[in-house]
Amino acid sequence: MHKSNTYITIPLYNDEKMILKVIKDLNKKGYNNIVVVDDGSKDNGYEVVKENTNAIVTKHIINRGQGAALQTGMEIAIEKRAKYIVHFDSDGQHDVKDLDNMLNTLIDGKYDIVLGSRFLKENKIPLKKRIVLRLGILFTYILSRIWLTDVHNGLRAMTVETAKKLDIQHDRMEHASEILDKIKILNLKYKEVPVTIHYTEYSQSKGQSVFNSINIAFKLISSKLKE
């Protein structure tokens, strides 16, 4: 396991309530290279991380979006000479126990990127969420011609070379589809692995609404038509 060369990038937006637990859980599993990018939060998450952890923490003055925060985090990890980079959420949905398997798969299988899938194992997914995610699978295949079981899971592990190639341009939630688009276009070697998603009242309150999902879909279609 190459934990000393792995950097965990966490986009942070109004998650003061959960971020310390997320970082402590990562530390307990030996993941100490953590980059937190506060994306213009209105709470004190930035200060909480800076004062109570050893994580690298930076801040966007305004809210630019999760895609922009991930790109900033990856750029910092690249500057720190990371060999592997992981995308990890700040709201407690992701399980640190999945990281060892993801990184082992990435390294041993010589993949460019490993993607987490909540549909490859038993997860208690709310019905509305399940329907939206299933529609997203079909929508992504139509647009990008890449077939996955879970197209909107933010838990990813990749080589630093892959991170450089991805170069996320979509600042907001469209970045998830952009990443899949580039996996196809760049012919990157990828694999999905089963992961656990913790659905709590808190995490669901911060999730994407059906309206936002539809809005993202229209933006992606518009982007494709302009190509």
Q: What pLDDT sits at residue 225?
A: 46
Pick the range with the lowest mean pLDDT from 69-83, 110-124, 161-175. Answer: 110-124
Give domain limits for the chain.
3-226
- In the predicted model, is pLDDT for residue 208 greater than 60? no
Q: What pLDDT sits at residue 214?
A: 47
The mean pLDDT of the chain is 87
- In the predicted model, is pLDDT for residue 143 greater than 90? no
Query: What's the pLDDT tens digit per position in 18-39?
Result: 999 999 999 999 999 999 999 9
Superfamily of domain 3-226: Spore Coat Polysaccharide Biosynthesis Protein SpsA; Chain A (3.90.550.10)
At residue 159 the predicted structure's pLDDT band, cuts being 50, 70 and 90, is very high
Query: What's the pLDDT tens digit per position in 128-140?
Result: 666 676 676 676 6
At residue 121 the predicted structure's pLDDT band, cuts being 50, 70 and 90, is confident
Dmax of the chain from CA atoms?
A: 47
**CA 102/CA 82 separation, integer angstroms:** 16
- In the predicted model, is pLDDT for residue 106 greater than 80? yes
Q: Output the CA–CA distances (angstroms, integers) from residue 169 to 70, 92, 176, 178, in the order listed.
A: 10, 26, 11, 8
Question: Nearest 5°: phi and psi at 10?
Answer: -125, 110
- In the predicted model, is pLDDT for residue 124 greater than 90? no
Amino acid at 4: S
Which pTM does this prediction carry? 0.85
- In the predicted model, is pLDDT for residue 205 greater than 80? no
Mean pLDDT of 88-95: 96
Q: What pLDDT sits at residue 221?
A: 46
Mean pLDDT of 108-120: 94
Q: What pLDDT sits at residue 142?
A: 72
Angle, in degrees to the nearest 10, between helices 16-28 and 45-52: 30
Query: What's the pLDDT tens digit per position in 162-203?
Result: 999 999 998 887 888 899 999 999 999 999 999 999 987 776
